[in-house]
Amino acid sequence: MIMDVADKSLNDLKSVLGKDAGEVKPALDDIPTLEIEPMAVVKALRFLRDHKEGDFDLLTDLTAVDWLDYPESGERFEIVYLLCSTGKNHRARLKTRIPDLDPRIESATSVYRTANWLEREVYDMFGIKFDGHPDLRRILMWEGFEGYPLRKDFPTRGYGPVERTPET
């Protein structure tokens, strides 16, 4: 099998992280994917951004998946980072799992500024807190909204009609 550059950068990352990283596997869409420990995320992102051959300068997407229905698969919340290199045209994906109780992870805003709103959205929709985020407020829902809509235990129809009361 020919190992392309994205694979190679992820393998380099794996050897740097040691036991904090799993195996590099291609997902269904052939994007190489690496699972890492949550404490290592910012270090990993910085490593990939500054990696000479990988050159992942664009954080395409940052999102979360709530695995509440599949407790056997590991911790509840999965954070997914999709990276892209605009110079070399390849992609890579980093994933990490964080537990249900007081979910928090270090913010990626120090590495990619685009993480700012993306993390605010994840906070808004899943209630995951990002330590070191400059401005962690709700973004799509309003301040004072209760619950986190994209969690699997949030009903699709919500908890009945809600009224936005003007702030005093």
Partner 1 sequence: MILNMGPSHPATHGTLQIVVELEGEKIVRLDNIVGYLHRGVEKLAEKITYHQFIPYTDRLNYVSCFMNNVGYTMAVEKLVGIEVPERAQVVRVILSEISRIMDHLVCIGTNVVDLGAYTPFLYMFNVRENAYDLLEEVCGARLTVSYSRVGGIARDIPDGFEEKILTFCDMVEKTLKDVEGLLDKNRIFLDRTRDVGVIGAEDAVDYGFTGPNLRATGKKWDLRKDFPYLTYDRYEFDIPTRDTGDIWARYRVRMEEMYQSVRIMRQAVKDIPGGRFISDDFKHVLPDKEEVYGSIEGLIHHFEQIIHGIRPPKGEVYASVEAANGELGYYLVSDGGRSPYRLRIRPPCFIYYQAFEEMLKGHMIADLIGVLGSINIIAGELDR
Residue 18 or 122: which CB sits closer to partner 1?
122
Span of 13-21, 36-44, 98-106, 149-157 interacting with partner 1 by CB under 8 A: 149-157
Burial of 83 (0-12, 13-18, 19+ CB in 10 A): buried
Residue 15 or 156: which CB sits closer to partner 1?
156
- How far CA 165 is from CA of 10, 67, 144, 154, 168, in Å, comes to 48, 33, 9, 22, 9
Strand partners, 106: 131
Q: How far is the CB of 130 from partner 1 (least distance, A)?
A: 15
Q: Distance between CA atoms of 21 and 96, rounded to whole angstroms? A: 9
Tokens representing 124 are: 């808004």
Residue 29 or 102: which CB sits closer to partner 1?
29
Residue 21 or 82: which CB sits closer to partner 1?
82
Q: Kindly write out the interface string for residues 70-109 of this chain, putting x where it contacts partner 1 by CB under 8 A and - elsewhere.
A: x---------x-x---x--x-x-x----------------
Q: Distance between CA atoms of 145 and 57, rounded to whole angstroms? A: 35
Q: How far is the CB of 27 from partner 1 (least distance, A)?
A: 5
